[in-house]
């Protein structure tokens, strides 16, 4: 049983780091991190992780919470290097080439991403529930050279390539089921029989792009977020000092970290996978959320650290099969992706029924992703904590004038973890950056001590179970229907998912299209969480003089 005394010892000397002797607010009303700056090694993210594994070579790096399939750190390294060499020799991957990864959280996910990067490539990650239409767009935009996936997703990938009139290799995780025709065996590429000397030809710099996830950015359609090796290494380093939530890995200790957050998303990819591996933690992967397998994993692996989205917290707090004894080794829980309701937090803490750290964090894909975090012992659950080391924040009004403590305005950020930019999108970059500062698109306030509270979203994203749904993407699909003249989409309140997409359309003259027909057209093209639940036909979409959709008017009148 994890005792309160042990928790207090773990927290001691690290909890009050944010109470520095100097003011975190400068004369120019810029907020600096209260944490000490960290040195950022001038290496790639794979070099950063591999440079440490001599400390824990035989400890488990990643294990499947369902099948118990596992890899030690030595096995993880060897498999990724074999994969990298085969990518260079068999598939002619060159420095800077883009390789897609479309699969759930499996123990092979880090092998794949680190192997791609060790080969000189960059990984673009796709949600495994995407439709062929969505996959097509990302493969096209990212100029992907080949794709990793699982057998059950091969039909989706093939249909996407058909839509793109594209023919690229499909590498398939063929551990249990057979390999579909026309695909390449993954496990033949991670064996030992390969010449690794070809990797000496890789000439990747820390300033090069390491991963290309897609985000809605501040507005509009999904954009390729160029995260460099330096961005990712910086964000890992930023979590190693007073922000650290784990105990150091030693001969006698290794913390266990839940890896449920999807690794195709920057939260799971960077905060869980990259940071967790760089610290020598044991990652317990779950390919998807299922109540039975999740509860079983809690029972079997006794998690020490969890990074969660609000729906998972709700499950932990309310599900009758989740017991306090399954959480008796838990020391730290951090919520990101969206704010958690106070009731869910209180119910979860009652279930655990002892001292542990609970806090919220804030970040975006564009910040690699962690920008603020609640340090151990910080108990203002409404706040998302303090800016991570080497980071500066501003709160600005509509004219970009800096505001002071406790004033609400748009949050701007600057630091080594901020993305290089949006790929091939100069207009989006002009809108996202101002004088070297990244515009978050979120309304926030910062108190005297530097604690950040997110007030609201300036951007018009719809949040469905923690996932971001950009209205412009759904509006674009709606307008592809031959009967639709104009369209708008907003987020309507929903008790189970937080929000749900609600559409408003103006039909072409003399159109007889039914609402159900339009819904079916759109929903077959998008992932389940993006599907429109309700549609209203209007005579006109309300807009301001410049043509911007007045979503607030639609929300007030119809939601």
How is residue 235 annotated by DSSP?
H
Does residue 302 share a domain with residue 339?
yes
Residue tagged 């910062």 (tokens): 446
439 in a structural domain: yes
Does residue 318 share a domain with residue 190?
yes
> What is the rounded average pLDDT of the residues 264-291?
96
CA torsion 47-52-57-59 (nearest 10°) is -110
| Residues 253, 279: Cα–Cα separation, whole Å | 12
Lowest mean pLDDT among 79-88, 237-246, 461-470: 461-470
Does residue 142 share a domain with residue 99?
yes
- In 10 A of CB 292, how many CB atoms? 9
Residue tagged 């990101």 (tokens): 336
199, 203, 205: which is closest to 41 by C-alpha? 205
DSSP string covering 484-524, please? Answer: EEEEEEEEEEETTTEEEEEEEEEEPTT----HHHHHHHHHT
* 421-455 pLDDT tens trace: 999 999 999 999 999 999 998 889 999 999 999 88
Q: Give the per-residue pLDDT at 443.
A: 86
Residue tagged 């949040």 (tokens): 463
Distances in Å between the alpha carbon of 322 and those of 66, 352, 405? 17, 10, 41
* 485-535 pLDDT tens trace: 888 999 998 888 889 999 999 998 888 889 999 999 999 999 999 999 899
| Residues 371, 393: Cα–Cα separation, whole Å | 9
- CA contacts within 13 A on the Cβ side of 295: 12
Q: Where are the alpha helices (DSSP H) in 248-290?
A: 266, 275-278
* 532-554 pLDDT tens trace: 989 999 998 987 654 568 888 89
533 in a structural domain: yes
Does residue 55 share a domain with residue 197?
yes
- In 10 A of CB 331, how many CB atoms? 21
Share of the chain above pLDDT 70, in %: 93
- Domain end point (choices 444, 479, 505): 444
Does residue 152 share a domain with residue 122?
yes
Question: Angle 430-450-354 (CA atoms, 0-180°, nearest 5)?
Answer: 120
* 180-193 pLDDT tens trace: 999 999 999 998 78
100 in a structural domain: yes
> What is the rounded average pLDDT of the residues 44-56?
97
Helix (H, G, I), strand (E, B) or coil at 438: strand
Specify the number of domains making up the chain. Answer: 2
| Residues 395, 413: Cα–Cα separation, whole Å | 9
- Domain end point (choices 444, 474, 495): 444
Secondary structure, 3-state, 14-81: CCCCCCCCCCCECCCCCEECCCCCCCCCCCCHHHHHHCCHHHCCCCEEEEECCCCCEEEHHHHHHHHH
| Residues 504, 446: Cα–Cα separation, whole Å | 37
Residue 434's DSSP bridge partners are 437
| Residues 171, 219: Cα–Cα separation, whole Å | 34
9 in a structural domain: yes
Query: What's the CATH number where 552 sits?
Result: 3.30.300.30
| Residues 403, 155: Cα–Cα separation, whole Å | 52
Output the six-digit token pair for 23: 């003011």
457 in a structural domain: no
Output the six-digit token pair for 530: 């993006």
Please, which pLDDT band fits residue 1 given cuts at 50, 70 and 90? Answer: very low
Does residue 507 share a domain with residue 380?
no
449 in a structural domain: no
Distances in Å between the alpha carbon of 274 and those of 68, 207, 239, 283, 288? 21, 17, 11, 10, 19
Does residue 153 share a domain with residue 257?
yes
Query: What's the CATH number where 263 sits?
Result: 3.40.50.12780
Please, which pLDDT band fits residue 247 given cuts at 50, 70 and 90? Answer: very high
- State yes or no: pLDDT of 470 exceeds 50: yes
Output the six-digit token pair for 205: 């710099």
245, 254, 251: which is closest to 308 by C-alpha? 245
| Residues 408, 396: Cα–Cα separation, whole Å | 8
- Domain end point (choices 394, 409, 444): 444
Please, which pLDDT band fits residue 222 given cuts at 50, 70 and 90? Answer: confident
* 394-426 pLDDT tens trace: 999 989 999 999 998 999 999 999 999 999 999
Does residue 259 share a domain with residue 137?
yes
517, 505, 503: which is closest to 559 by C-alpha? 503
DSSP string covering 94-123, please? Answer: -TT-EEEEE--S-THHHHHHHHHHHTT-EE
Does residue 527 share a domain with residue 397?
no
First and final CA of the chain: distance in angstroms?
48
72, 95, 69, 70: which is closest to 84 by C-alpha? 95
Lowest mean pLDDT among 59-63, 111-115, 426-430, 555-559: 555-559
The residues near 258 (Cβ < 8 Å, ≥ 6 apart) are 272, 284, 286, 297, 303, 305, 306, 307, 308
CA torsion 559-383-389-10 (nearest 10°) is -130
- In 10 A of CB 199, how many CB atoms? 15
74 in a structural domain: yes
- State yes or no: pLDDT of 14 exceeds 60: no
Domain span holding position 383: 4-19+40-444
Q: Give the per-residue pLDDT at 192.
A: 78
Does residue 387 share a domain with residue 260?
yes
213 in a structural domain: yes
Q: Give the per-residue pLDDT at 7.
A: 45
- For residues 339-351, one letter each, b for 16 or more C-beta atoms within 10 angstroms of the residue's C-beta and e for the rest, the string is bbeeebbeebbeb
Output the six-digit token pair for 113: 């991403």
Output the six-digit token pair for 510: 């003399």
Lowest mean pLDDT among 60-74, 190-204, 208-222, 289-303: 208-222
- State yes or no: pLDDT of 80 exceeds 50: yes
The residue length of the chain stands at 559
Does residue 480 share a domain with residue 349?
no
Residues 237 and 35 sit within 8 Å (Cβ to Cβ): no
Does residue 73 share a domain with residue 158?
yes
Helix (H, G, I), strand (E, B) or coil at 468: strand
Please, which pLDDT band fits residue 153 given cuts at 50, 70 and 90? Answer: very high
Check residues 247 and 344 and name the one with the higher pLDDT: 247
The alpha carbons of the chain give a radius of gyration, in whole angstroms, of 23
Lowest mean pLDDT among 183-192, 302-311, 365-374, 464-473: 464-473
């Amino acid at each position: 049983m994890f005792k309160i005394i042990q928790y207090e010892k773990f927290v001691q000397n690290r909890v009050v780091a944010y109470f520095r002797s100097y003011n975190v607010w400068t004369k120019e009303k810029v907020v600096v991190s209260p944490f000490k700056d960290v040195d950022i090694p001038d290496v790639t993210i794979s070099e950063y992780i591999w440079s440490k594994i001599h400390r824990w070579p035989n400890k488990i790096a990643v294990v499947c919470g369902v099948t118990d399939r596992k890899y030690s750190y030595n096995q993880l390294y060897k498999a990724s290097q074999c994969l990298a060499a085969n990518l260079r020799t068999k598939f002619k991957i060159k420095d800077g080439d883009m390789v897609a990864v479309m699969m759930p959280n499996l123990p092979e996910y880090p092998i794949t991403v680190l192997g791609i990067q060790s080969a000189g490539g960059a990984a673009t990650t796709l949600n495994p529930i995407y439709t062929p239409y969505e996959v097509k767009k990302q493969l096209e935009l990212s100029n992907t050279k080949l794709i990793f996936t699982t057998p059950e997703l091969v039909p989706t990938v093939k249909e996407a390539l058909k839509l793109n009139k594209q023919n690229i290799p499909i590498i398939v995780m063929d551990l249990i089921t057979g390999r579909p025709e026309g695909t390449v065996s993954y496990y033949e590429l991670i064996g030992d029989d390969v010449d690794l000397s070809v990797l000496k030809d890789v000439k990747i710099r820390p300033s090069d792009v390491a991963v290309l996830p897609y985000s809605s950015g501040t507005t509009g359609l999904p954009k390729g977020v160029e995260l460099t090796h330096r961005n990712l290494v910086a964000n890992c380093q930023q979590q190693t000092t007073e922000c650290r939530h784990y105990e150091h890995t030693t001969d006698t200790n290794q913390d266990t970290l839940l890896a449920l957050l999807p690794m195709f998303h920057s939260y799971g990819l960077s905060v869980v996978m990259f940071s967790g591996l760089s610290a020598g933690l044991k990652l317990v992967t779950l390919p998807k959320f299922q109540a039975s397998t999740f509860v079983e994993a809690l029972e079997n692996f006794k998690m020490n650290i969890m990074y969660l989205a609000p729906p998972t917290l709700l499950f932990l707090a309310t599900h009758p099969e989740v017991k306090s004894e399954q959480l008796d080794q838990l020391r730290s829980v951090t919520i990101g992706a969206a704010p958690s309701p106070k009731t869910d937090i209180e119910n979860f803490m009652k279930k655990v029924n002892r001292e542990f750290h609970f806090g919220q964090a804030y970040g975006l894909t564009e910040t690699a992703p962690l920008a603020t975090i609640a340090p151990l012992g910080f108990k203002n659950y409404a706040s998302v904590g303090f800016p991570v080391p080497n980071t500066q924040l501003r709160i600005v009004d509509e004219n970009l004038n800096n505001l002071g403590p406790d004033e609400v305005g748009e949050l701007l950020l600057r630091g080594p973890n901020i993305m290089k930019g949006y790929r091939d999108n100069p207009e989006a970059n002009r809108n996202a950056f101002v004088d070297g500062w990244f515009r978050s698109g979120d309304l926030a306030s910062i108190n005297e001590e530097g604690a950040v509270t997110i007030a609201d979203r300036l951007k018009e994203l719809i949040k469905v179970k923690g996932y971001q749904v950009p209205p412009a993407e759904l509006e674009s699909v709606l307008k592809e229907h031959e009967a639709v003249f104009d369209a708008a989409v907003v987020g309507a309140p929903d008790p189970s998912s937080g929000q749900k997409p609600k559409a408003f359309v103006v039909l072409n003259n003399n159109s007889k299209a039914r609402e159900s027909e339009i819904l079916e057209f759109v929903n077959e093209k998008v992932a389940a969480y993006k599907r429109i639940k309700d549609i209203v036909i209007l005579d006109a979409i309300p807009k301001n003089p410049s043509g911007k959709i007045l979503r607030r008017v639609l929300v007030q009148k119809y939601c």
